[in-house]
Structure 1
Amino acid sequence: MLPKPLKHVVYLCLLLPCLTIGQSAPALAKPTHMGLHGMLMFGGQQGLIASHLPMYHVPHNAQVLFQFHFVDAKVDKAIKQALQPNPNQVTPIWTIVPQPFDLMTLSTEASATSVRLIVDIVEGHFERGGVTKYQQQALVIDKLLLFALLDMGQATQTPKQATYCLLNLNHSTQEQYLYKRLAQRPETDHLLRISSASPLPAKCHSVDVTPANTATMDTLSEQFLADDLSGEISVIYVESDELQ
């Protein structure tokens, strides 16, 4: 005859699935976007931003941006200095290569800021001749800026407008950036640095685009810099081949 407490356990298992040893409740969802998710880095003294390099197929079908810092303070300082534009306003290309993980863990603020990634840091594009400068570096996500799954459909006509959004880290006049919100393919990943005499508000504008599916510097200046004649916009990164 079973002891009374054990009877209760058997009875509950008839009604509900019993947990195996070491299993949590509820069980974690299976990874859906597991892979090697290379990212572009940009930013400067006020902070660092990572932009996932997206494609129109799983597991890379998401546009993701987040603010972060490296755990190693010396590495963090070195990368911030390395990302400063040169006198011709050309921003060096640096990328990070995280250990494989499920991209969906970055889909909400709560889940993203609980993630610590281990990455290799590459001067240049990690798939296009870049040189690994640091290995196995830990980074902490401070703030999720954007997570958007891509519409996998093909655009039925060439778009005439696109949405560009401004990021302003710590309300600085020096650390301001623009990114293009990705729509249906074919698309162009377009990231830019913007300077102005005073801090600009973080907002998005719908702007006219060229046949290459990007806005011109003049168009972006009209929308974001208005009457600030001293303001300037320069390109950080532009990629269309991977987004066809």
Structure 2
Amino acid sequence: MKTRGYLLLICLLSIFAQAEEASDSVGPLDPAYEGTHGMLVFNAASALYASHMPMYRKPHNAQIIYKIEARDPALVYLVRDANMVTIKPESFNLQRLIRGETLTVKADVYIGHFERGGSLTYEQIELTFSEQKYLRMLKDLGEPVTRQTYDLVNLKRGSRMLVHQIQSAPSYDHMLLLYGDVNCITNIDTGKPVPSEKILTAKLSFCGPMKPLYYETQDFAENSSSGK
């Protein structure tokens, strides 16, 4: 019995040591990523997604798309019917989403852009970030480019979307939801670093039926490269 108890103790100590080692390998959260992280909310195949509104510097220098869960079904109906829905979550460390963690927060919900005249519709709705779908850090971007690259992101039940790889200022944030399973060119020459949304839609039209989700230039203008 003593031998069995001793072996059990050794196993438990080994498990605790491995857990501590795993925790150390991740490292502590960078406090510079703590803040209010506004996001666009959209739906695809009856699922909700949140896209972080990035900027060039911490705490916002990451393009992130997450599948989210909402206890209140009112948010699902709102996102389905409104042209744009954004959220202003309570302060949290964005590095948790960068690492792909599951996170539950409360957020205020706006019809329109929460910083640009949007209408506060719901307060303190509980949301869970359940699955990371896309991550791209905004660092080492080099010079502005006229050839634009879009990443193809797979969502739920075969749904897909295109996400523009934001480049050095001037640049832009652009996302589109795709409705067909069409192979197409996602590296396009636009002639200038910040083409109009109309030109981009035309260039990407070979990807089949699509829905524009978001197009933002103001946060990526030359005088915005220092961030907020």
- TM-score band w.r.t. shorter chain: 0.7 to 0.9
Answering whether residue 226 of structure 2 is matched by residue 242 of structure 1, we say: no
> Corresponding residue for 1:150?
138
1:192 pairs, out of 176, 182, 186, with 176
1:193 to 1:169, Cα distance in 2 relative to 1, 3 A: same
2:90 pairs, out of 92, 99, 116, with 99
TM-score (norm 2): 0.74
Answering whether residue 166 of structure 2 is matched by residue 182 of structure 1, we say: yes
> Corresponding residue for 2:6?
none
Q: Does the Cα contact within 8 Å between 2:179 and 2:210 map onto a contact in 1?
A: yes
Seq. identity, %:
28
CA offset digits 1:124-157 (Å, max 9, x no partner): 10011111111111111221012222126662xx
CA distance in 2, matches of 1:200, 1:232: 9
TM-score (norm 1): 0.70
User: More helix per residue: 1 or 2?
Assistant: 2
Aligned to 1:217, the other structure's residue is in SS state helix
> Corresponding residue for 1:169?
155
Q: Does the Cα contact within 8 Å between 1:178 and 1:192 map onto a contact in 2?
A: yes
Question: Which residues of structure 2 form unaligned runs of 5+?
Answer: 1-22, 222-228
1:233 to 1:30, Cα distance in 2 relative to 1, 3 A: closer
Question: Which residues of structure 1 form unaligned runs of 5+?
Answer: 1-24, 84-91, 225-230
CA offset digits 1:158-178 (Å, max 9, x no partner): 413222123343334xx5422
Larger gyration radius, structure 1 or structure 2:
1
CA distance in 2, matches of 1:154, 1:161: 13
Answering whether residue 111 of structure 2 is matched by residue 123 of structure 1, we say: yes
Aligned residues: 194
1:129 to 1:208, Cα distance in 2 relative to 1, 3 A: same
Q: CA RMSD in A?
A: 2.6
